[in-house]
Structures are given as structure tokens and as C-alpha cells.
């Protein structure tokens, strides 16, 4: 492919209730939209991975309404999905990957549609399709795979796209290369994942989709396993109920009935002591996880980065800072920059700064 200066890149990020799309001209975002989906519309599909064509039609309609010349798009990049575990990087979407995403070989997740839509649009336009740092990026060191129960090895499923982008930014602030740094990143959104980034690889991280690590606004995180087994076999709950207690209806929302941290802060300000306790406990667990990962890095930590929607709360960030600032300098990246991370991943390949990996 010949190099184009500032190529036009379409980035697609399908979430559980919306599909975010952005157009980048080189590094510059020139258009962005969050296409909200009606719950009834999504409910027509048994699996999130079956929503690809439905979401794609809405994307194309929106781009046409905005009078985007589709033939100028040089690459389409989607948030990747539950493909088989792979190391981080930018991957060409191949037929094998499409088959795995469609089948959901590692599970069903809205981001499975990212690679599927990117592939379909790229075929129609005659350009390349990529995914970047999917949630199943697996760079765990062997030690970190051992759980204590041979039946259940630890898995690497986390906010790889935002964590890697934030770790790269942090390294830049330190004047270092990502592949020469030791950084702990805590992504704090609806789910929380905390990763140890050592020389460009995430060598240990909690599984954000499966009851591991700190609790979060809507996930339980790790709970005492003996008691979990008792509850599961009590006859009161179905398998689906148990899954919901771990993800969706677990963590802060289970205690306080809301997954919105702003509502919780408001309740604290009005004197709600239960809200204060749970708010502080969530910060405590995340700080404890950061401390644990400092031992993974033998205490040689260049920086700690806090990111995700929860990092917008100064009160929450201050609680974590109090406990972990003795470890390393702390950098805050409120919210997430997944669209930029997707576009930059594709751009690094188009600019030949990095080679695209093949699945």
C-alpha cells in the first residue's frame, strides 16, 4: 500500500448500549458520534455478535448523512473483541478472525462486532481492516497464570486498549519508551482492571469480566470463594443470576443501588454513611491491588496511572493517592481515549512505524 499523508481512518467502538464512531485525518479527529441503540432494537438479537449488520447500517447511514466521501477512507479499525488470546498490537482482520468473532470462541461481547463491522466495510471499500489491543490481549508471565486451582488458570481479559494507550502516554511524560518502562495502570470504569506493564507487556492483570481483582461500580471483583460456592448451590439462584451478581449487578450497585459514582458522591455530601463506606472500600481495594502489583514489579515502578470515568472524581482519586503515592509518581487520565487509541494503532501501521500482526 502506498503511504498517504494524513490518511482518513474510520474507528468503530461498539459498546453495550451504543456504537461510537470517529473519523481521523492522521492524528486529528474530524468527526465523532455516539450512535445510541434502543434497548428493544438490541433485544431482537440473541447474541451481541449478531448485531454487526444492524450496527453497520446505522454507521453507513450516519456517514452518508454527514456527506463523508467513503472512498477516501484508507482503513477501518474496530475495537476487537473476544478473539483467542493474543499479544498486544494492531492486527489485520482476517477471515479466521471474523469466524472466531462470529462464533464467539472466547465468549459474546459487544466489541466482537468491532472487527466484524470493520471487515465488512473494508471489503466494500477495498481498504484494510484492523483491530487494536483487544480485551483478550494476553502477555501474562507464566507465574501470573497460576490461580491455586489447576482447573481454573488465571486469564488476561482487561481494558487493554485504554490501558496500553495510557501507559504509552505515561511513558512519554516520563521521557521514556513504553517498552523500557515499568508502569501500573488502573482503568476504573464500570469495570476495574489494574495491570502491571513491564517493558511493553502486561505481565499481570485482573480479569475484568470474571470476578477477579477489586470490586467496581457494577462488578463484584474477587469474593471469598467458599461462600460463593455455598450461595451458588443454595438453590436460590440460577446460573444466570450468579453471573449477574458478579458482573452487571455486583460491586457498588449491589450495595447502593446505583452504578453512578456522581450519585454516590452526592449521597455522601448529604451524610449517607453507607455510601461513604462503599465509596471508600472501592478506593481501598483498588489501592491494595496497585500495591500488590508493585511487588510484581519488585518495587521498581516508574509511575502509576489512573484512568477511566471514575478517575474524573477528585475525591476518589485522592483516596487512592493517599495510599499509593509512596510507590511512584501518579498520573491521572480522566475518562478514556479509546477512539484515538484505535485510530493511532491503525496510523502506526499505515505510517509503517509498526508492522501489522496477523492473527
Give me the residues that bind ligand BUA (CB under 6 A), please.
135, 157-159, 191, 193, 208-209
Q: Give the CA distances from residue 46 to residues 51, 109, 118, 172, in Å, rounded to whole numbers and listed in that order.
A: 9, 12, 21, 43
Distant-in-sequence, close-in-space partners of 302: CB < 8 Å, separation ≥ 6:
170, 171, 174, 176, 181, 182, 183, 328
The closest residue (CB) to ligand BUA is 208
Touching ligand ATP, residues 320-349 (CB under 6 A): 336
φ/ψ of residue 62, rounded to 5: -60, -45
- Please, how many CA atoms are within 13 Å of residue 151, restricted to the half-sphere of its CB? 0
Count other C-beta atoms under 10 Å from residue 290's C-beta.
Answer: 24
As measured in angstroms, the least distance from the Cβ of 264 to ligand ATP is 8
The whole-angstrom separation of Cα 43 and Cα 34 is: 19
Q: Position of cell 508492522?
A: 355
Q: Pick the closer one to ligand BUA by CB: 157 or 320.
A: 157
Are the C-beta atoms of 301 and 308 separated by less than 8 Å? no
Q: Position of cell 505510517?
A: 351
Which position among 14, 80, 114, 191 is part of the footprint of ligand ATP (CB under 6 A)?
Answer: 191
Span interacting with ligand ATP, options 189-197, 222-230, 237-245, 322-330, rule CB under 6 A? 189-197
Q: Is the dihedral of CA 337, 339, 342, 348 positive or negative?
A: negative
As measured in angstroms, the least distance from the Cβ of 157 to ligand BUA is 5
Count residues near ligand ATP (CB under 6 A).
Answer: 14
The number of residues making up the chain comes to: 359
Q: Pick the closer one to ligand ATP by CB: 241 or 266.
A: 266
Q: Pick the closer one to ligand ATP by CB: 181 or 313.
A: 313
Query: Is residue 313 a contact point for ligand ATP (CB under 6 A)?
Result: yes
Which position among 115, 189, 200, 214 is part of the footprint of ligand ATP (CB under 6 A)?
Answer: 189
As measured in angstroms, the least distance from the Cβ of 269 to ligand ATP is 13
Interface with ligand ATP by CB under 6 A: which residues?
A: 189-191, 217, 259-262, 308-310, 312-313, 336
Amino acid at each position: 500500500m502506498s503511504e498517504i499523508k494524513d490518511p482518513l481512518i474510520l474507528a468503530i467502538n461498539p459498546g453495550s448500549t451504543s456504537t461510537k464512531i470517529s473519523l481521523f485525518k492522521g492524528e486529528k479527529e474530524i468527526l465523532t458520534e455516539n450512535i445510541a441503540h434502543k434497548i428493544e432494537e438490541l433485544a431482537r438479537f440473541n447474541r451481541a455478535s449478531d448485531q454487526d449488520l444492524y450496527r453497520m447500517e446505522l454507521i453507513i447511514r450516519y456517514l452518508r448523512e454527514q456527506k463523508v466521501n467513503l472512498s477516501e477512507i484508507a482503513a477501518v479499525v474496530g475495537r476487537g473483541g473476544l478473539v483467542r488470546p493474543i499479544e498486544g498490537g494492531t492486527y489485520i482482520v482476517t477471515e479466521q478472525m471474523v469466524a472466531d468473532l462470529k462464533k464467539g470462541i472466547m465468549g459474546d461481547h459487544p466489541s466482537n462486532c468491532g472487527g466484524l463491522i470493520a471487515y465488512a466495510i473494508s471489503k466494500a471499500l477495498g481498504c484494510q481492516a484492523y483491530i487494536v489491543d483487544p480485551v483478550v490481549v494476553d502477555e501474562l508471565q507464566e507465574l501470573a497464570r497460576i490461580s491455586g486451582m489447576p482447573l481454573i488458570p488465571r486469564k488476561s481479559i482487561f481494558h487493554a486498549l485504554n490501558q496500553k494507550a495510557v501507559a504509552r502516554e505515561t511513558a512519554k511524560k516520563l521521557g521514556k519508551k513504553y517498552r523500557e518502562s515499568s508502569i501500573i495502570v488502573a482503568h476504573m470504569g464500570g469495570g476495574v482492571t489494574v495491570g502491571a506493564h513491564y517493558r511493553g507487556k502486561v505481565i499481570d492483570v485482573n480479569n475484568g469480566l470474571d470476578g477477579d481483582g477489586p470490586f467496581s461500580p457494577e462488578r463484584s471483583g474477587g469474593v471469598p470463594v467458599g461462600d460463593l460456592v455455598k450461595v451458588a448451590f443454595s438453590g436460590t439462584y440460577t446460573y444466570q443470576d450468579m453471573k449477574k451478581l458478579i458482573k452487571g449487578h455486583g460491586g457498588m450497585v449491589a450495595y447502593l443501588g446505583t452504578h453512578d459514582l456522581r450519585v454516590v458522591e452526592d449521597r455522601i455530601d448529604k451524610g449517607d454513611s453507607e455510601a461513604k463506606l462503599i465509596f471508600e472500600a472501592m478506593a481501598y481495594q483498588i489501592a491494595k491491588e496497585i500495591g500488590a502489583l508493585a511487588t510484581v514489579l519488585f518495587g521498581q515502578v516508574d509511575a502509576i496511572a489512573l484512568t477511566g470515568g471514575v478517575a474524573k472524581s477528585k475525591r476518589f482519586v485522592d483516596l487512592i493517592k493517599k495510599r499509593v503515592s509512596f510507590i511512584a509518581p501518579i498520573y491521572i487520565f480522566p475518562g478514556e481515549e479509546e477512539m484515538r487509541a484505535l485510530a493511532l494503532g491503525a496510523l502506526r501501521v499505515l505510517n509503517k512505524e509498526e508492522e501489522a500482526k496477523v492473527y
